[in-house]
Amino acid sequence: MNDMPLSMLFGILALMLILSAFFSGSETSLMTLNRYRLKHLVKLKHSGAIKAHNLLQRPDHLISLILLGNNFVNVAASSLTTVIAIRLYGESESSIAIAAGILTIVILIFSEVAPKTLAAIKPEILAFPAAWVFIPLLKLFYPIVWAINLIIGLLLKLVGINVKKHSHDILNKEELKSIVAEAESLMPSRYQKMLLGILDLESATVEDIMTPRNEIVGIDLELPIEEIIRQIKTSPHTRLPVYKKSIDRVIGFLHLRKILMVVNNEDFDKQTIINQLIKPSFIPESTPVHKQIHRFKTEKIRIGLVVDEYGDVEGLVTLDDLLQEIVGELITDDVTVRKQNDGSFLVDANITVRELNRVTQWSLPTEGPKTLNGLILEFMETIPEPGTSIKLHGYPLEILKRDENTVKLVKFLPQK
């Protein structure tokens, strides 16, 4: 090496620095690749993506190869720098120290920070070309890489880590919901809410979305026939439960389209209604939404009564309710949550906690009361007066309206 001209030594040193930058940048780029975009490109038969995907199946081998190459060129660069310093300034300690300091700064800037920053911002620019280089290098140096990983594997086993049983990143439901929630620029908000609704189906039960017992509209056969006819003609619903005195004594569901065809007949009476009834369907309150959708489909029914463990009617659910849990705004306007200019929210307290979480991306608890009103009453253990301010599970709000037994309207204050 002493016989080499300085120009050649500087050229080799520059080559070592370039190789060091390549190894540093390629390590960052391959490790920061978006795994899901990578899988998409693999499906599209992108050659660089296929090679990168294959390399990342054993990241321990890849990292060992990169660090092996990076350390080799850095050590070579250090040795060359020492030789150049001796050739230029003699064997003085100061010249060697200065040369080492300059090399450290050059490596840090040009072979570490700059390429790694570029690779982190645009990983595919370097990752895919690098994969073409690393595939043959891995085959060439496989015995060394294998030996290194054998030693590393034994060391990691001492702390309870098995490299061979490493698991690839798999999104859980909450992480996937976060991705969908952040995809505002990629899809309309109504489709975004639809996807969030689908992701929530597994954890939702019919109790979460049912019409509560006190809001069920039905026909009491104990009423006069004139009142029943008036109710049939003015009802906005297609199907109504028919009962005697109490909804717990339901005897069937009435399809109004069929009964309206005969309601004006002179012989129309309560027996005519009974003859038109459909057998009632009862649904346990803990039934998951997705299972009930399947049941409605297989049994070809569209409405059922939700009952508790004692068989008492707790509410009513329809196929439209279940579908609305998925499609939401596509079939109804969402006016229960209104965002104000100051960042606050005016919220109808009858909204379900799950729907409020979905609209606002909050994390109010859903294990207990199903509606915001119920959550507030449970928290306060009383019916608060208008003007009352509380911090509900970390979210500050003010009660705006109430009636005798429920909260009607609240204002969630902006988060600080």
∠365-366-369 over CA atoms, to 5°? 105
- Work out the average pLDDT over 207-219: 89
Nearest to 103 by CA among 3, 2, 5, 20: 20
Percent of the residues in the chain that have a pLDDT greater than 90, as a whole number: 42
- Contact call for residues 84 and 10 (beta carbons, < 8 A): yes
User: What does the pLDDT look like over 152-192, one tens digit per residue?
Assistant: 888 888 887 776 665 555 667 677 777 777 776 677 777 77
The pLDDT confidence band at residue 328, using thresholds 50, 70 and 90, is low
DSSP assigned state of 187: S
pLDDT at 411: 93
Highest mean pLDDT among 90-104, 160-174, 223-237, 350-364 belongs to: 223-237
Angle at 127 (CA atoms; ends 126, 129), nearest 5 degrees: 70
Query: pTM of this prediction?
Result: 0.55
> What is the rounded CA–CA span in Å between residue 62 and residue 30?
9
**Cβ pair 253, 219 in contact under 8 A:** no
What letter does residue 185 receive in the DSSP assignment?
A: T
Q: Please state, in angstroms and rounded to a whole number, the distance separating the CA atoms of residues 93 and 262.
A: 110
Angstrom CA distances, 138 to 11, 65, 151, 297, stand at 26, 7, 18, 55
Reported as a pLDDT band with limits 50, 70 and 90, residue 331 is: very low
Q: By C-alpha distance, which of 332, 366, 335 is closest to 348? A: 335
- Give me the domains of the chain, ranges plus CATH numbers: 6-165 (no CATH), 204-329 (3.10.580.10), 337-412 (3.30.465.10)
Kindly report each contact of residues 265-270 with a partner whose C-beta sits within 8 Å and lies 24 or more positions away, as own/partner: 268/225, 268/229, 269/225, 270/221, 270/225, 270/228
Mean local confidence (pLDDT), 192-217: 81
> Among the listed ranges 71-85, 86-100, 277-291, which one has the minimum average pLDDT value?
86-100
Using the structure block, give the residue that is written with the tokens 């390399």: 55
Tokens for 325, please give them.
């849990």
Q: How confident is the model at residue 232 (pLDDT cuts 50, 70, 90)?
A: very high
- The secondary structure of 318-363, three-state, reads EHHHHHHHHHHHHCCCCCCEEECCCCCEEEECCCEHHHHHHHHCCC
Which amino acid, one-letter code, is at 195?
A: L
Predicted local distance difference test score (pLDDT) of residue 204: 82
* Mean pLDDT of the region 7-23: 90
End-to-end, the C-alpha distance of the chain in Å comes to 66
Beta bridge partners of 346: 338, 411
What percentage of the chain's residues is helix, strand, coil (to nearest 5)? 55, 15, 30
Give percent above pLDDT 70 in the chain: 94
H helices within 1-122, ranges in order? 6-31, 35-43, 47-55, 59-89, 93-106, 114-121
pLDDT at residue 164, as a whole number: 64
